Amino acid sequence: MADIGIWGLGSMGMGMGQSLLRAGHRVAGHDVRPGVTLDGGTPLAPEAISTAVLVVLNAAQTEDVLFGSSGIADSLAEGAVVIACATVPPAFARDMAARCSTLGLHYLDAPISGGAAKAATGQLSIMASGSAPAFAAARPALDAMAETVFELGEAGAGSAMKAVNQMLAGTHIAAMAEAMVFGMTQGVSPAQFMEVIPSCAGTSWMLENRGPHIRDGDYTPRSAVPIWLKDLGIVGEIAAAAGIEMPLTETALSRFRDAAALGLSDEDDAAVAKVYARQAGLDLP
């Protein structure tokens, strides 16, 4: 049993915290929102925490939790491991690993995939990278939170792989929305689309996961539109530095920007379909 702190109790972090508790660990939950707590959690002083799991939004929040005015890095005991799960540029992950190392801390660059449902059941896929001692220290928490842990090398490699995944996932959502609305212009209803396409070659995990949200008219934010402004923006920054053009990714990003401009930032990312429907003059379910 380990003493674990988890920072960020959103849809992913809350489920991960519950998975850690089910595995028998003592877990202290932290969130910037007043009144948001981890049911069953235990208050722990930072110096008692052997594993700090950061499930925050971005690089800025990751750095703030560790090194901000109330940062925990100086308080964690030497030898503790930081498991950082936000989607960030690889160079940022390498910098965080180096800064943690100077304090005697291990750092695992560990972006996650699988959504809130798999976070709640401890079945995430984690694209992890870091030193062998970091993996060893993080193993009890990783085993509780993930079904699959990919060990990808030194810090930064996990974030590079997550960028590849997010590039595909974001473009798949936009392509699904575009295809569904295109089908509507030809008399194919969203219900028919979701009955047929998941059994055909044009399907994808994102289509099967997000398509029902459009079919059912349910835009409760499991993963909200702004996530893709951030993640596809990171992909674009990495691509620019590498000197590669990515027109498909850029087009998908522009569709999510259009969705935000329409006031859809508080809705599920499947709401990008509303951009296409508006252009086509169609009403979604």
The CATH number linked to 144 is 3.40.50.720
| Residue 115's pLDDT band (cuts 50, 70, 90) | confident
CA atoms within 13 Å, Cβ hemisphere of 49: 28
41 lies in some domain: yes
Q: Are residues 164 and 148 in the same domain?
A: no
Over residues 28-74, the pLDDT tens digits come to 999 999 999 999 999 999 999 999 999 999 999 999 999 999 999 99
Query: Three-state DSSP class for 7?
Result: strand
Given this model, what pLDDT does residue 283 score?
97
Q: Are residues 147 and 168 in the same domain?
A: no
Structural domain harbouring 166: 159-280
Which segments of the chain are extended strands (E)?
A: 3-7, 26-30, 51-54, 81-84, 106-109, 112-113, 124-128, 146-151
Number of Cβ atoms within 10 Å of the Cβ of 114 = 21
Q: Is 186:257 a contact under the CB 8 Å cutoff? A: no
Q: Are residues 76 and 26 in the same domain?
A: yes
Domain endpoint, select from 133, 155, 177? 155
| Residue 280's pLDDT band (cuts 50, 70, 90) | very high
Q: What is the distance between the alpha carbons of residues 4 and 2, in angstroms, rounded to a whole number?
A: 6
Q: Are residues 36 and 171 in the same domain?
A: no
The answer to whether 162 is a known catalytic residue is yes
73 lies in some domain: yes
Q: Are residues 7 and 138 in the same domain?
A: yes
71: left (phi over 0), alpha (psi -120 to 50) or beta: beta
Which neighbouring-strand residues pair with 150? Answer: 127
Q: Are residues 267 and 174 in the same domain?
A: yes
Query: Three-state DSSP class for 60?
Result: helix
Q: Are residues 143 and 276 in the same domain?
A: no
Residue 189 DSSP code: -
Query: Three-state DSSP class for 224?
Result: strand
Over residues 166-211, the pLDDT tens digits come to 999 999 999 999 999 999 999 999 999 999 999 999 999 999 999 9
Number of domains in the chain: 2
Given this model, what pLDDT does residue 255 score?
98
**Mean pLDDT value across the chain:** 97
What's the per-residue H, E or C state across 96-160? HHHHHHHCCCEEEECCEECHHHHHHHCCEEEEEECCHHHHHHHHHHHHHHEEEEEECCCCCHHHH
285 lies in some domain: no
Q: Are residues 17 and 121 in the same domain?
A: yes
Joined together, the tokens standing for residue 118 give 């798999």
Which of 118, 162, 230, 274 is labelled catalytic?
A: 162
Given this model, what pLDDT does residue 256 score?
98
Q: Are residues 90 and 180 in the same domain?
A: no
Given this model, what pLDDT does residue 56 score?
96
Given this model, what pLDDT does residue 1 score?
83
Q: Are residues 9 and 143 in the same domain?
A: yes
Q: Are residues 25 and 118 in the same domain?
A: yes
Over residues 208-267, the pLDDT tens digits come to 999 999 999 999 998 999 999 999 999 999 999 999 999 999 999 999 999 999 999 999
Q: Are residues 171 and 187 in the same domain?
A: yes
Given this model, what pLDDT does residue 143 score?
97
